[in-house]
Structure 1
Amino acid sequence: MSESSLRIVILGLSITSSWGNGHAATYRGLVRALDERGHRVVFLERDVPWYRAHRDLPDPPYAETFLYEDLDDLRRRFLAEIRSADVVIVGSYVPEGVDVGQFVLEQARGVTGFYDIDTPVTLAKLRRQDYEYLTPELIGEYDMYLSFSGGPILDEIEDTYGSPMARPFHCSVDKSEYYPDEAPNKWTMGYLGTYSDDRQPRVESLLNAPARQLADQDFVVAGPSYPEEIEWPANVERIDHVAPPDHRHFYNSQRFTLNVTRDDMIEAGFSPSVRLFEAAACATPIISDVWEGIETFFTPGEEILLAESTEQAVDYIRSMSDEECSAMAKRARERVLSEHTPAHRVDQLEQYVAQAHTQSAAARPVGAKN
């Protein structure tokens, strides 16, 4: 395995379409940074109808990207790529992910990894014996487990499920795409996220309820799949989808942006979303729900505002001066760019791959070959 340039195959949910998922933005930033570092990346994506109709980056310029029809097509066309790669990574929520993972583990000769962009959700599914894209047995077979979440959950992945190496691998943000601009504030507060049953109560209490109290101000919620029966306040604008190239302008058009978290991720803690980092990089003041470990990413009161009630959210909106908002948002931007860019993730991945390669070689019986 070359230490200077790696041949990497990633089998991920999607890099070509950001429709209804945050995976695409995460993969795009990481793969671009890998390419800039001199690594060769092949990205393999299952061709599914819901992404086929909404491909906003059908041919990423920084990776060889291929769509495959099904598992047989994957085996037939890409066996050589998987066998020759230095690193093969399978992502969470990949269709038929268990079978894809078994195929990779049987055929790959380099370091193998599972990249979980949904770690708390994944482990909650495993506890329910829901093996949609991963089984407990597979965890122990991958050389490394790259986790969207940090903190104690990494110990569970190693101690309970037998991963030889579970490491934090948070999402990241590209400073060349996310930065402050001079856009006027169109909305007092906004939220960007696909609908989910468990997040919606916090959207209600931290955005819709404040909007009802502040009827003279404008709010926005952007993202697909919201049920028609939701009763939005008259001053809450609904946008069905904001493509990644438009995220920066969207954040910069808000006085505050709201960050809300899925229940499984709140329970696990230490699980920052890519939207949180995007907003911070744009120097948009953030009001967030509360979860364990958030203070390890941003300092509450100095870089981010935490709210557990409608009253707290309304108080921030009413009491924070523009100068206070700007200073706080600037500190958050400096923090995220010092720790959470794609270049930081490439540094980590190179280190993890080297560690996994050393561990794998040490565990290999004497005389065995790759």
Structure 2
Amino acid sequence: MKFAFFGSSLVSAYWNGAATYYRGIIKAMHRRGHQVIFYEPDAYDRQKNRDIPDPEYATVKVYAPTEAAVSEALEDALHADVIVKTSGVGVFDELLEKEVLQLKLKGKFVIFWDVDAPATLDRVQYGDEDYFKALIPQYDLILTYGGGDPVVNAYKSFGARKCVPIYNALDPDTHHPVEKEERFGADLAFLGNRLPDREKRVEDFFLAVAAAMHDQQFILGGNGWQDKPMPANVHYLGHVFTRDHNALNCSPKAVLNISRDSMAKYGFSPATRVFEAAGAGACIITDYWEGIDFFFEPGKEILVAKSGDEVKEILSGLSDEKAKAIGDSALQKVLAKHTYDQRAVELDALLQKELALPENY
């Protein structure tokens, strides 16, 4: 089948946490014989900060951030069988979310693919007259990259015809173990952009821990932290390009996952970087959220902390040998259960059913 994706960016991970997800799932779809055109706006300096060239598994079409260019892209997308509007394009989202539904009148199957369902649902639930609420029942299918039953039930309460999670996963071709690099050596590393509903948790689970553990070294990566006060034992890297993610995950004793408030509230929402880190064989310490054990076995494949004090306790008792054993177990789990090839199989089965396609279409 031919797919038209309207998303933030496939070729740049700059201020774009969904890039790894897009790449993994679209590459896996390509392997299964699908053709994908990815439409992305020239916005937020992403084209100036590309971290991959145009991939062989998709056709990338960059359009100007204007209404006229959006209309042209929508007209071009009529060549596809399935039209996908993802959340958080960042340019003319409301226009796109309304206009892709007009393509249903021309016989297209239209999907809303939510890569930040907790934020979307909170906005719809608590926003005054949010425009998207009325659009939800009109989509043929809602897909999310996390959230589990809480998100599915919330979408259904707003009239969604069907909502199915297609979870984040691992692409072993791009995220895998590499040699340690001295520049990324530390006791604990955290990689994540500075966002309002994550900052307080970063203060509690990372910066306060570093301040209390003067004899250990910490690394912080991601956009937006440059003016944030930090303890002297925290080394700030700024934006970390995708090419360096494996080394950043492999080199410290442990890496920290900190969920945004909304993702922790809904649960079942592991970030892409959890699977990236597991794919590199990293020992992951994560803040607690419901559904962790759906993906990893706590204590064996991942370490769970409910507070900054528990992060300190874990780090204090974490030997190099134990960290390696946990990282190795996490790697084996994601390779066995959580790859994008496996997610693409789930997606194919779902679309086959929803589109009433014959077997082996």
AA paired with 2:158?
Y
Question: 1:78 offset after TM fit, Å?
Answer: 4.6
Which residue is 1:241 aligned to? Answer: 239
Q: Deviations over 1:267-308 (max 9, x none)?
A: 111111001111111111111111111121111111111112
Question: 1:33 offset after TM fit, Å?
Answer: 1.5
Say whether residues 1:74 and 2:93 are aligned partners. no
Contact between 2:191 and 2:220, CA under 8 Å: does it hold in 1? yes
- Aligned counterparts of 2:283 and 2:196: Cα–Cα separation in 1: 25
Which residue is 1:36 aligned to? Answer: 31
Secondary structure of 2:205's counterpart equals helix
Which residue is 2:125 aligned to? Answer: 127
Question: 1:49 offset after TM fit, Å?
Answer: 4.0
Question: 1:334 offset after TM fit, Å?
Answer: 1.4
AA paired with 1:285?
C
Secondary structure of 2:173's counterpart equals coil
Q: Deviations over 1:150-206 (max 9, x none)?
A: 122201211x11111100111222112212233157111000000022322222222
Question: 1:50 offset after TM fit, Å?
Answer: 2.7
- Aligned counterparts of 2:137 and 2:112: Cα–Cα separation in 1: 10
Matches within 5 A, 1:165-314: 165-183=162-180, 186-226=185-225, 228=227, 230-314=228-312
- Aligned counterparts of 2:355 and 2:93: Cα–Cα separation in 1: 23
Structure 1 residue aligned with 2:160, among 156, 163, 173? Answer: 163
Return 83-92 or 196-205, whichever deviates more. 196-205
Relative to the length of structure 2, the TM-score reads 0.92
Structure 1 residue aligned with 2:85, among 79, 83, 90? Answer: 90
Q: Deviations over 1:91-119 (max 9, x none)?
A: 00122222212222212423211110100
Question: 1:231 offset after TM fit, Å?
Answer: 1.5
Contact between 1:280 and 1:286, CA under 8 Å: does it hold in 2? yes
- Aligned counterparts of 1:130 and 1:50: Cα–Cα separation in 2: 31
Structure 2 residue aligned with 1:60, among 55, 62, 68? Answer: 55
Question: 1:314 offset after TM fit, Å?
Answer: 1.8
- Aligned counterparts of 2:129 and 2:45: Cα–Cα separation in 1: 22
Number of aligned residue pairs: 350
Which residue is 1:336 aligned to? Answer: 334
Return 195-204 or 290-299, whichever deviates more. 195-204
* Structure 1 runs of 4+ with >3 Å offset: none
Unaligned 5+ runs, structure 1: 1-5, 360-370
Contact between 1:71 and 1:100, CA under 8 Å: does it hold in 2? no
What RMSD over aligned residues (CA atoms) do the two structures have, in Å?
1.9
Contact between 1:82 and 1:107, CA under 8 Å: does it hold in 2? no
AA paired with 1:217?
Q
Return 336-345 or 35-44, whichever deviates more. 336-345
Percent identical pairs in the alignment equals: 33
Secondary structure of 1:187's counterpart equals coil
AA paired with 1:15?
L
Which residue is 1:100 aligned to? Answer: 96
AA paired with 2:133?
P
Relative to the length of structure 1, the TM-score reads 0.89
Question: 1:44 offset after TM fit, Å?
Answer: 0.4
- Aligned counterparts of 2:150 and 2:74: Cα–Cα separation in 1: 36
Question: 1:19 offset after TM fit, Å?
Answer: 0.6
Secondary structure of 1:138's counterpart equals helix
- Aligned counterparts of 1:51 and 1:131: Cα–Cα separation in 2: 32
